[in-house]
Amino acid sequence: MRKSLLAAAFLGLLTAGPAMADAPPPDVLVSIKPLHGLVAAVMKGVAEPGLIVSGDASPHDYAMKPSDARALERARLLVWVGKDFEGWLKKPAAKARHRLTMQEIPGMTRLATREGGVWDSHGNDHGHKDHGKDDHDETDGHLWLDPDNAARLVDAVAGRLAEMDPARADRYKANAAETRKRLADLDSTLAARLKPVAGKPYVVFHDAHQYFEARYGLTPAGAVTIDPERPPSAKRMAALRDRLKATKAACVFREPRFAGPTVQALADAAGARIALLDPEGALAEAGPDAYFTIMTAIADSLADCLSGR
Ligand SMILES: [Zn+2]
């Protein structure tokens, strides 16, 4: 009797034991909120990845805090877009133990950064170099705004985590499969939502939405600024006003951190409506649903404003 109780207790320990006996899951750190959402979805039920640019801080010219540097030192894997987007992370990333760089994943759709901002005008403002740095033909780093690119990232993250943490490989792969399915559903929902407004011109605050626009056949007329950290020049504002009138753009989109007065002045001059786009998820709550929240909000805002609602 006593013996079998002991045996049962021992067996109980054994069955409860394996998770505790395994190595802890890898400490993963992600640069920005939309990518963090996708990584969090792959790691759901295992652990939460860390996030560098949280809240509504700018992902374009973020200043790393000492706590970020410590988090990067602790991390076994850093997931980021790459040097063409988080230029501020280029040097620190080189010291990361392992890196997964979204812009280098094979098969990723990459579009070149658009020049200027009022894309077919002759006006060329300063400042476009700040998006990336070194190269001339740099990639537009807002890669996540194409759901196919998001799916490629999800696969790459799951593959890498499965290698680093084989004990939980099945979990990562199952989560990735579920996330890919959610991405496919999101894609068809967005395509249907945006189809009616595909031909309607509009102006955005900064040129973040190229991948989204290409994917859903939208008709942007320009961006107020290429460099979201700098106000547009008077010359560009004049060019934009002309372009808004010429294209009969219905909407000018502001962003959470930017350009109340600038956008207001433009919209007033052209008789356009103002609405909000949040391509980098400044307003989104971080977590495994963040990517879906961000993409749905963009589609809703575009569809509502451009259809006159
Ligand atoms: Zn941006």
Q: Rounded to the nearest whole angstrom, what is the distance from the C-alpha of residue 150 to the centroid of ligand 1?
A: 16
Q: Which tens digits make up the pLDDT trace of 181-209?
A: 999 999 999 999 999 999 999 999 888 99
The answer to whether the CB of 256 falls within 8 A of the CB of 206 is no
- Alpha carbon of 205 to ligand 1 centroid (Å): 10
Which whole number is the average pLDDT over 221-250? Answer: 83
170 CA to middle of ligand 1, Å?
34
Task: Tokens for 71, please give them.
Answer: 């988090």
Question: If you measure from the C-alpha of residue 226 to the centroid of ligand 1, how many angstroms do you get, rounded to a whole number?
Answer: 9
In tens, the pLDDT along 250-299 reads 999 999 877 677 888 888 888 999 999 999 999 999 999 999 999 999 99
Q: What whole-number distance in Å separates Cα of residue 180 and Cα of residue 182?
A: 5
Q: What is the pTM of this model?
A: 0.87
Q: Which two tokens stand for residue 88?
A: 């501020």
pLDDT score of 259: 62
**Span from the CA of 48 to the centroid of ligand 1 (angstroms):** 25
| CA contacts within 13 A on the Cβ side of 119 | 16
What's the rounded Cα separation, in Å, for the pair 305 and 250?
8
Q: Measured in angstroms, how far is the CA atom of residue 194 from the centroid of ligand 1?
A: 21
Give the helix ranges, DSSP H, for 126-253.
147-164, 169-194, 210-216, 234-247
Task: Please compute, for residue 115, the number of CA atoms within 13 A of its CA located in the half-sphere on the CB side.
Answer: 7
Q: How far is the CA of 109 from the centre of ligand 1 (A)?
A: 17
Question: What pLDDT, on a 0 to 100 scale, did the predictor assign at position 191?
Answer: 98
Report the separation in Å between the CA atom of 142 and the middle of ligand 1, taken as the mean of its atom positions.
6
Would you tell me the crossing angle of helices 33-42 and 290-306 to the nearest 10 degrees? 130
In sequence order, what are the residues at sequence separation of 6 or more whose Cβ sits closer than 8 angstroms to the Cβ of residue 64?
A: 52, 88, 89, 92
User: CATH 3.40.50.1980 spans which residues of the chain?
Assistant: 22-106+113-189, 194-306
Alpha-carbon gap, residue 252 to 274, rounded angstroms? 5
Gap from CA of 136 to ligand 1 centroid (Å): 18
22-106+113-189: CATH architecture: 3-Layer(aba) Sandwich (3.40)
Q: What's the rounded Cα separation, in Å, for the pair 140 and 206?
A: 12
Amino acid identity at 5: L
What does the pLDDT look like over 101-129, one tens digit per residue? 999 999 999 999 887 656 644 334 433 43
Distance 207 CA to ligand 1 centre (A): 7
Measured in angstroms, how far is the CA atom of residue 89 from the centroid of ligand 1? 15
CATH, range 194-306:
3.40.50.1980
Distance 12 CA to ligand 1 centre (A): 52
**How many angstroms is it from 280 CA to the middle of ligand 1?**
7
